[in-house]
Amino acid sequence: MTELKIDETILKYETFINDVLKEDLRQLHDRLQYVNAEMSDLIQQKHTLKVVNNKQMHPHGFKTQVNIGCNFFMEAEVPDTSTLLMDIGLNHYLELSIDDANRFLDIRIKAYEKKAQELQQNAAEIKAHIKLMLFGIAELQNNAIGKNS
């Protein structure tokens, strides 16, 4: 292989790494951040359910402030915490018992954990491809240097 062809091949490999593989890795990282943020939100919702339903802390319900729009708040009292309205996605709400809400959140958390694991596996594969390509570039450079000596 001539030196010009080796340089062209190395340039193609480097371009592929930078334009394709690293961009794929960045997109996977962004998706993983989103999945982790959603998981964190769901875990926080589980904690909130636990606090709201704690009869020792709130034996007769609890008081809260509700945003009624444009950052105007109104005091509200919630005497019965046995059921609640939960956003199940696409702005659809379902009335659930506390146990059902916890089960729903557990299922969603597990689904996001599975998705995060899948994304991490994909990222590991892309990183392996990048290392393999870099190894190939190093071999080409070593061969070119060896032939020039």
Residue 68: inside a domain? no
CATH at residue 103: 1.10.287.370
> 77 in a domain, yes or no?
no
Q: Is residue 142 part of a domain?
A: yes
Q: Cα(37)–Cα(35) distance, rounded to whole angstroms?
A: 5
- Give me the number of domains the chain comprises: 1
What angle separates helix 22-52 from helix 98-148, to the nearest 10 degrees?
160
Residue 73 lies in a domain: no
Task: Report how far residue 35's alpha carbon sits from residue 14's, in angstroms, rounded to the nearest whole number.
Answer: 30
pLDDT (tens, 9 = 90+) of the chain, 149 residues, equals: 567 788 888 888 899 999 999 999 999 999 999 999 999 999 999 998 988 888 777 777 788 898 999 999 999 888 888 888 999 889 899 999 999 999 999 999 999 999 999 999 999 999 999 999 999 888 888 877 766 65
Task: Assess if residue 121 is contained within a domain.
Answer: yes
Select from 20, 29, 34, 33 the least CA-distant residue to 122: 29
Q: Which domain holds residue 91?
A: 3-55+83-148
In a domain, 104, yes or no: yes
Domain assignment present for 101: yes
In a domain, 144, yes or no: yes
CA dist., res. 80 & res. 53, Å (int): 9
pTM passes above 0.85: no
